[in-house]
Amino acid sequence: MSEGSSAASNQGNAGIGGYLKAPAKLTLEDKLFLVAFNVDKEPHLKLKDKAVCAACKAKPCLYICPVENYTLQGEEVVLSWEGCLECGTCRIVCPHDAIDWKYPLGGYGVNFRNG
């Protein structure tokens, strides 16, 4: 390739670069806004034994769930299932295998197709 054609090519890329902009960065909240849920009345996540959770020192579930489904109410760990993204992270990090974790029944749960 000659020097001249290389320079022309670079100019072309610079021109395209002027039109191509990186998409705006979405926050977690923006992304969650695009997700839909069909929530079952029956929870697909349950804590097996509250005594095990009470004795759990680190309680990583409180910090790892992206939608904060695990909360402390007083001293007690409370688990919600409505906004669950079905990522399975809580099941992996729980050091005591204290979560009865299942996918929601067919037709229920998170729908990522909107996002």
Residue of 35, 58, 46 lying closest to 115 (CA atoms): 35
Counting contacts by CB under 6 A, is residue 90 touching ligand SF4? yes
**Token pair 């109410």 is at which residue?**
73
Query: Counting every residue, how long is the chain?
Result: 115
Check residue 23 and give left, alpha or beta (phi > 0: left; psi -120 to 50: alpha): beta
| Shortest Cβ 39–ligand SF4 spacing (Å) | 12
| Shortest Cβ 86–ligand SF4 spacing (Å) | 5
Counting contacts by CB under 6 A, is residue 98 touching ligand SF4? yes
Restricting to residues 44-83, which ones interact with ligand SF4 according to CB under 6 A? 45, 47, 52-53, 56, 59-61, 64-67, 69, 77
The Cα 83–Cα 100 span in angstroms is: 17
Figure out which of the listed residues 43, 86, 100, 108 binds ligand SF4, where binding follows CB under 6 A: 86
Sorted by sequence, the CB contacts under 8 Å of residue 103 that are 6+ apart come out as: 44, 86, 109
Task: Please give the residue ranges that form the binding site for ligand SF4 (CB under 6 A).
Answer: 45, 47, 52-53, 56, 59-61, 64-67, 69, 77, 84-90, 94, 96, 98-99
